[in-house]
Amino acid sequence: MKFSFLAFGLFTAGATLASAAIERSVSRSFPAEEVKVLQAVLDGGTIRVETAAAGQPCLLEIRQIIDTNSGEEAEELLKNLHLEVGQENGVLHLESRYETGLADIWKARRVKINLVAHVPHDTVLKLRTGGGSIQVKDHAALVEARTSGGNIRTGRIQGPATLSTSGGDIKVVACTGELRANTSGGDITVDEGGAMELRTSGGDITVAAAASGVRANTSGGDVKVTFVGQPERASELRTSGGDIVVTLPKKTAFEVEASTSGGRVKVAEAVGLKAASVHRASVKGSIGSGGPTLVATSSGGHVRLERSE
């Protein structure tokens, strides 16, 4: 089943008038047992996904914000905005798009769609917005989220996740599956995770509890990673403009290669490094009986290896 309509006609369900904007809202529900995938694509606006209560249907709460306090102008701005909502073959689909020429592109920037979706915790999520934040509460399935201009926040993800933003921070409470996170202009913070690949062009990378291999690369910040347990995969930490701090638990084993072009490599005695090569700016050796490779390279700061208490 699919619904396709001009946005202004849809949003007669409710409206509020603010000093600088008109807001209109509507909600649509779908049987939860028929929804396996949520696919949301917005030209611009925020997306928030929450877990639907047991026995409750999937619910899409859609709010439209028009940058005007004139109802007549709002109607004019909405003429080229199309919103499509539907459910077919297990996929719950929502798409908003503003169809206009280059001469009227300013109109698209004055209209936003904000979505709050309530779906079962095991629904696959495929989310994309051209200009807003994305937030996903605790979830138990694949999460794909991409925004061209906002932050991404997730709770505990029991499954793989791919997160990408062109202009914001990424914050993950936990991810048990493989995590890929990329931002062109912000920080990446992961509280807990397994194997992960993290990249930012303009911020810090912080992993508070890594249970597997970490690949982290930043062009403009620090990298701080704390391992918990013995990773099975290799790790590679790189920064072009900051420090690297690696904290290791007791009774772990690594083959270590650490180097810097703009500072010093410092290894705490408690780490127990058996060094094969030690210089002011580079260290190579093994910890314990040796294990996966741990590479830490900085072009503009210090590299430190520490032991957790």
Residues 129 and 203 placed together within one structural domain of the fold: no
Is 0.85 topped by the overall pTM? yes
Same domain, 41 and 159: no
Q: Does residue 145 lie within any of the structural domains? A: no
Q: What is the mean pLDDT of the chain?
A: 88
Say if residue 128 is in the same domain as residue 219. no
SS3 assignment, position 304: strand
For residues 246 and 191, state if they share a domain: yes
Q: What is the mean pLDDT of the segment spanning 31-58?
A: 94
Closest C-alpha to 299, from 224, 248, 227, 237: 237
Same domain, 116 and 157: no
Residue 103 resides in a domain = yes
Residue 20 placed within a domain: yes
Do 127 and 178 fall into the same domain?
A: no
Residues 157 and 305 in one domain: yes
Asked which of 80, 113, 138 is the last residue of a domain, the reply is: 138
Contact 139, 120 (CB under 8 A): no
More confident residue, 96 or 98: 96
Identify whether the C-beta of residue 22 lies closer than 8 Å to the C-beta of residue 76.
no
**What is the C-alpha radius of gyration for the chain, rounded to an integer number of angstroms?**
24
In DSSP terms, 210 is beta-bridged to 193, 227
> How far apart, in whole angstroms, are the C-alpha atoms of residue 259 and residue 237?
11
**Domain end position, chosen among 114, 138, 162:** 138
**Confidence band of 25 (pLDDT split at 50, 70, 90):** confident
**What single-letter amino acid sits at 8?**
F
Q: Considering the domain boundaries, does residue 247 fall inside one?
A: yes
Residue 109: CB atoms within 10 Å: 12
Residue 191 within any structural domain of the chain: yes
Rounded mean pLDDT, 185-202: 95
Q: Which of 79, 107, 138 is the last residue of a domain?
A: 138
Are residues 80 and 195 both part of a single domain? Answer: no
* Residue 111 placed within a domain: yes
**Does one domain contain both 85 and 164?**
no
**Whether 39 and 76 share a structural domain:** yes
Residue 89 lies in a domain: yes
CA distance 23 to 76: 15
Q: Residues 109-152: pLDDT tens digits?
A: 667 789 999 999 999 999 999 889 999 999 999 999 999 989 99
- Given a contact cutoff of 8 angstroms between Cβ atoms, the answer to whether 97 and 139 are in contact is no
Over residues 273-309, the pLDDT tens digits come to 998 888 889 999 999 988 999 999 999 899 999 999 7
Cα(246)–Cα(226) distance, integer angstroms: 6
Identify whether residues 104 and 77 lie together within a single domain.
yes
Q: Per-residue pLDDT for 9 more than 60? A: no
Could you tell me if residue 144 is inside a domain?
no
**Given this model, what pLDDT does residue 72 score?**
74
Q: What percent of the chain has pLDDT over 90?
A: 70
Pick the closest to residue 92 from 146, 29, 139 (CA basis): 29
Q: Which domain holds residue 112?
A: 1-138
User: How many distinct structural domains can be found in the chain?
Assistant: 2
Per DSSP, which regions of 18-151 are E strands? 22-30, 37-42, 47-51, 58-66, 81-88, 91-98, 111-119, 124-129, 134-136, 143-147
Residue 130 and residue 8 share a domain? yes
